[in-house]
């Protein structure tokens, strides 16, 4: 099954759900599939492990990257690159907006409301069942409501990013898929895709999934790896 | 409890709750703010108290107040915030109150930057505040150890009736790792009736407990300091913790490093081992008390030609390493500041250079 997402895509989710890793891997994956991809770092919340840390390899892969100015690379200031509103008005084939975590992280989207209101917006919620507050359906639905309220946008898709770092097993991937199936049933929001580390892909029974699987290669590594 | 994936900052918050700490006061600062964010959600669920102070100075004295009442209490901050709290830490040590301080260190001096650093080693281990006092300082190398150390910090603070610090560089707070919390969660508080201002009526006593750090009589103050000194000596006997890595080999060089830096060094040691070169490491888990004997003995090994202290600071721990090695082997420093963590390759290259010089 192929990932079909195109147009304007906002990636949201609770803090630490793996939004940025999902966004980066989706950007590389879609670029390789021949799609014109741009990615904008809207994370005004998280001080470390941000899209801006791998701007070089994104650029080399031909992904257009919209970031705050280089001199603010390591600032913990809520800077929104001014070109973001412009690119939303004229998006590439796939424009990924990597938002910050929780409802707080998507507040910035409301500020872009004018630009977003003229576009069809896809907004996906990334869920990692191993993170606090989203290990159950109620927790996922709560954060979904909070994100929708703050961003003034509707959630359109779900992504399971079941992740325990190098300890992730195929069963963990199935568990994440089962959780978003339930979230999908209760909310009526469709499952967009699930993610799995490239190492796990050969071990997975793909027949268990009724959605595409995005292979994940960790991009924001620890300094000792 | 099953494993969960947590940021170090979140895990420290959860660990405090599970150690029976229901009082948390803090002021936000990068890269530690997630502790406050997490506990502002979690503490109300367990009938705990979270107050965001108007500054770190205020927070320091909120901690003093709660600790004087015999409550389990914690704050978290990062470097500039800990500087502001240092006055209160000295008062808390002087007044002999148990309290837990967490410093998720960022680059300095001054405002510095928001990236990881180990530049607060001196501040944590040699004072920070005024007067003859020490804190017991523990330095985790990952999220799981941050949980264990945070949970241990409370009973240790009560054992010695003083401040205990968890010192983690920014990465320890920001990185995510799978973590497991022990099932046996709540550690019963010690009996604080003999000193805490927890109410005469409540403890059925007719004597007031007074918590203070003021001793105007010189002989009394001297005795008070001697008591504190005897406690620091007891810490040196009973609380030293360290990890030895690859020290069962005939290593040619000994690394001393802690926290995030020690994980980079482990990768470097593994890589060099694959190339046929043996390097040993002692990783202090307590920075005060410092594992002097372990480092002394490891440096004394005949095969060991050189000792290097590798730090994300400009040569702070190296002074304690030199003090431990007592001139038996040459001790030097290697490190980097500003937020970029030295890579395993940089460490390997430096080790090769040192060994070539020692040939």
How many separate domains does chain A show? 1
> Do both B221 and B248 map to the same domain?
no
Q: What is the pLDDT of residue B87?
A: 98
Q: Domain boundary at B201, B218, B238, which?
A: B238
Domain assignment present for A37: yes
Say what the pLDDT of residue B189 is: 66
Give A-chain residues touching B181 at CB under 8 angstroms: none
The answer as to whether A11 is a domain residue is yes
List the one residue out of B200, B129, B184 whose CA is nearest residue B162.
Answer: B129
**Closest chain B CA to residue A131:** B5
Residue B224 shares a structural domain with residue B309: no
Separation of alpha carbons B98 and B92, rounded Å:
8
* Shared-domain flag, residues B201 and B285: no
CA distance B359 to chain A (A): 28
Domain span holding position A191:
7-216
* A76, A164, A224 member nearest B344 (Cβ): A224
Q: What is the mean pLDDT of chain B?
A: 96
Note whether B229 and B310 are same-domain residues. Answer: no
**Of A128, A130, A222, which has the smallest distance from its Cβ to B175's Cβ?**
A222
Q: Contact A135/B267, CB-based, under 8 Å?
A: no
Question: Three-state SS for A90?
Answer: coil
| pLDDT < 50 positions in chain A | none
Same domain, B77 and B189: yes
Q: Any chain A CB within 8 A of the CB of B300?
A: no
Q: What is the pLDDT of residues B286-345, one digit of tens each?
A: 999 999 999 999 999 999 999 999 999 999 999 999 999 999 999 999 999 988 899 999
Do residue B31 and residue A48 have CB atoms under 8 angstroms apart? yes
Q: Per residue in B130-161, is it b (16+ CB within 10 Å) or e — as a string? A: eeebbbbbbbbbbbbbbbbbbbbbbbbbbbbb
In chain B, which residues have their Cβ closer than 8 Å to the Cβ of A74?
A: 113-115, 339
Q: What is the pLDDT of residues B48-76, one digit of tens each?
A: 999 999 999 999 999 999 999 999 999 99
Contact with chain A for residue B155, Cβ under 8 A: no
For position A110, what pLDDT does the model report?
Answer: 85
Question: What residues in A contact B342, CB-CB < 8 Å?
Answer: 223
Determine, yes or no, domain membership for A167.
yes
Same structural domain, B230 and B268: no
A224 and B264: CB-CB below 8 Å? yes
- A interface with B, Cβ–Cβ < 8 A, is 15-16, 47-49, 74-76, 128, 130-133, 135, 163-165, 167, 222-225
Residue B127 pLDDT > 90, yes or no?
no
Please list every residue in chain B whose beta carbon sits closer than 8 Å to the beta carbon of residue A48. Answer: 31, 115, 170-171, 174-175
Per-residue pLDDT, A96? 96
Do residues B216 and B336 share a domain?
A: no
* B68 CA: distance to closest CA in chain A (Å): 33
Q: Kindly identify which residue of chain A lies nearest to residue B38, measuring between CA atoms.
A: A132
Please identify among residues 65-94 of chain B the ones whose CB lies closer than 8 Å to any CB of chain A.
Answer: none
If one counts the domains in chain B, the total is 2
Instruction: List the CATH number of the domain containing B263.
Output: 3.40.50.920
Chain B contact set for A53 (CB, 8 A)? none
Find out whether B272 and B322 touch, Cβ atoms under 8 Å.
no
Same domain, B190 and B274: no
Nearest to B27 by CA among B81, B72, B71: B81
**Of residues B14, B176, B339, nearest to A16 (C-beta):** B176
Inform me whether the C-beta atom of residue B29 falls under 8 Å from chain A C-beta atoms: no
Say if residue B153 is in the same domain as residue B20: yes
Nearest CB to B4; choose among A15, A131, A222: A131
CATH number at residue B188: 3.40.50.970
Domain assignment present for residue A224? The answer is no
- Judge if B204 and B246 occupy the same domain: no
Domain identity same for B111 and B54: yes
- A132·B6 Cβ contact <8 A: yes
Determine the distance in angstroms separating the CA of B189 from the nearest CA of chain A, rounded to an integer. Answer: 27
pLDDT value at residue B1: 58
Which residue among B4, B260, B341 places its CB closest to the CB of A132?
A: B4
Please answer yes or no on whether B263 and A222 come within 8 Å at the CB atom: yes
Q: Which pair of tokens denotes residue B178?
A: 């799978």
Mutate to test the interface with A, among B176, B266, B270, B340 (most CBs of A within 10 A): B176
A135 contact residues in B (CB cutoff 8 A): 4
The 3-state secondary structure of chain B reads CCCEEEEHHHHHHHHHHHCCCCEEEECCCCCCHHHHHHHHHHHHHHCCEEEECCCHHHHHHHHHHHHHCCCCEEEEECHHHHHHHHHHHHHHHHCCCCEEEEEEEECCCCCCCCCECCCCHHHHHCCCCCCCCCCEEECCCCHHHHHHHHHHHHHHHHHHCCEEEEEEEHHHHHCEEEECCCCCCCCCCCCCCCCCCCCHHHHCCCCCCCCCCCCCCHHHHHHHHHHHHHHHHHHHHHCCCEEEECCCCCCCEEEECCHHHHHHHHHHHHHHHHCCCCEEEEEECEEECCCHHHHHHHHHCCCCCEEEEEECCCCCHHHHHHHHHCCCCEEEEEECCCCCCCCHHHHHHHHHHHHHHHC
B74-122 pLDDT tens trace: 999 999 999 999 999 999 999 999 999 999 999 999 999 999 999 999 9
Tell whether the model's pLDDT for residue B185 goes beyond 70: no
Distances (CA, A) of B141 to A60, A173, B264: 34, 28, 10
Q: Based on the domain organization, do B286 and B231 belong to the same domain? A: no
Is residue B31 within 8 angstroms of chain A, CB to CB? yes
CATH of the domain at A95: 3.40.50.300
Nearest residue, CB atoms, B5 vs list A131, A222, A224: A131
Under 8 Å CB pairs connecting chains A and B tally to: 69
Range of the domain at B30: 4-238
Asked if A163's CB is within 8 angstroms of B339's CB, the reply is no
- A128 → closest Cβ in B5, B10, B339: B5
Set of chain B residues whose Cβ sits within 8 Å of the Cβ of A224: 260, 263-264, 266-267, 344
| A75/B114 Cβ within 8 A | yes
Contacts of B3 in chain A (CB under 8 A): 130, 164, 167
> Residue A134: inside a domain, yes or no?
yes
């Amino acid at each position: 099954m192929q990932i079909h997402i195109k147009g304007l895509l906002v990636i949201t989710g609770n803090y630490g759900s793996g939004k940025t890793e999902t966004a980066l891997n989706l950007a590389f994956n879609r670029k390789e599939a021949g799609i014109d991809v741009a990615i904008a770092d809207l994370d005004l919340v998280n001080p470390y492990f941000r899209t801006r840390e791998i701007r070089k390899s994104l650029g080399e892969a031909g992904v257009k990257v919209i970031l705050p100015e280089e001199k603010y690379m390591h600032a913990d200031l809520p800077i929104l690159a001014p070109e973001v509103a412009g690119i939303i008005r004229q998006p590439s084939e796939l424009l990924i907006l990597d938002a910050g975590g929780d409802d707080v992280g998507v507040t910035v989207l409301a500020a872009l409301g004018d630009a977003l209101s003229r576009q069809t917006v896809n907004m996906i919620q990334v869920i990692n069942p191993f993170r606090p507050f989203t290990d159950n359906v109620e927790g996922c639905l709560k954060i979904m409501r909070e994100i929708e309220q703050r961003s003034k946008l509707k959630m359109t898709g779900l992504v399971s990013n079941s992740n325990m770092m190098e300890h992730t097993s195929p069963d963990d991937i199935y568990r994440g898929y089962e959780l978003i199936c339930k979230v999908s049933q209760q909310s009526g929001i469709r499952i967009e895709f699930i993610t799995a580390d490239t190492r796990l892909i050969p071990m997975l029974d793909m027949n268990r999934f009724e959605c595409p699987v995005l292979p994940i290669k960790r991009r924001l590594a620890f300094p000792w790896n | 409890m099953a494993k969960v994936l947590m940021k170090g900052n979140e895990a420290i918050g959860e660990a405090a709750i599970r150690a029976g700490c229901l009082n948390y006061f803090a002021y936000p600062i990068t890269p530690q703010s997630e502790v406050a964010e997490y506990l502002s959600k979690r503490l109300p669920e367990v009938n705990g108290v979270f107050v965001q102070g108007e500054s770190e100075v205020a927070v320091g004295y909120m901690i003093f107040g709660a600790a004087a009442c015999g409550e389990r209490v914690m704050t978290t901050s990062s470097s500039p915030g800990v500087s502001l709290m240092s006055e209160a830490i000295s008062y808390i040590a002087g007044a002999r109150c148990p309290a837990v301080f967490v410093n998720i260190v960022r680059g300095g001096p001054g405002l510095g930057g928001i990236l990881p650093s180990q530049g607060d080693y001196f501040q944590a281990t040699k004072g920070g505040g005024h007067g003859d006092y020490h804190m017991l300082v523990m330095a985790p190398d990952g999220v799981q150890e941050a949980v264990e150390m945070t949970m241990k910090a409370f009973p240790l603070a009560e054992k010695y009736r003083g401040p205990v610090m968890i010192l983690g560089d920014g990465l320890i707070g920001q990185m995510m790792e799978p973590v497991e919390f022990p099932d046996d969660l709540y550690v019963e508080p010690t009996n604080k009736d003999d000193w805490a201002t927890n109410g005469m009526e409540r403890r059925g006593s007719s004597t007031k407990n007074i918590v203070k750090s003021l001793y105007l009589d010189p002989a009394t103050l001297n005795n008070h300091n001697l008591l504190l000194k005897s406690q620091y000596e007891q810490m040196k006997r009973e609380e030293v913790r360290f990890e030895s890595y690859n020290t069962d080999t005939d290593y040619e060089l000994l690394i001393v490093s802690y926290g995030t830096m020690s994980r980079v060094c482990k990768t470097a040691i593994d890589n060099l081992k694959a190339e046929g070169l043996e390097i040993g490491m002692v990783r202090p888990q307590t920075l005060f008390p410092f594992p002097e004997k372990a480092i002394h003995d490891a440096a004394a090994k005949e095969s060991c030609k050189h000792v290097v202290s590798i730090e994300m600071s400009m040569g702070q721990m190296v002074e304690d390493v030199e003090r431990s090695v007592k001139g038996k082997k040459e001790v030097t420093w290697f490190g980097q500041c500003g937020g970029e963590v030295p890579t395993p390759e940089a460490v390997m290259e430096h080790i090769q250079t040192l060994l070539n010089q020692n040939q």
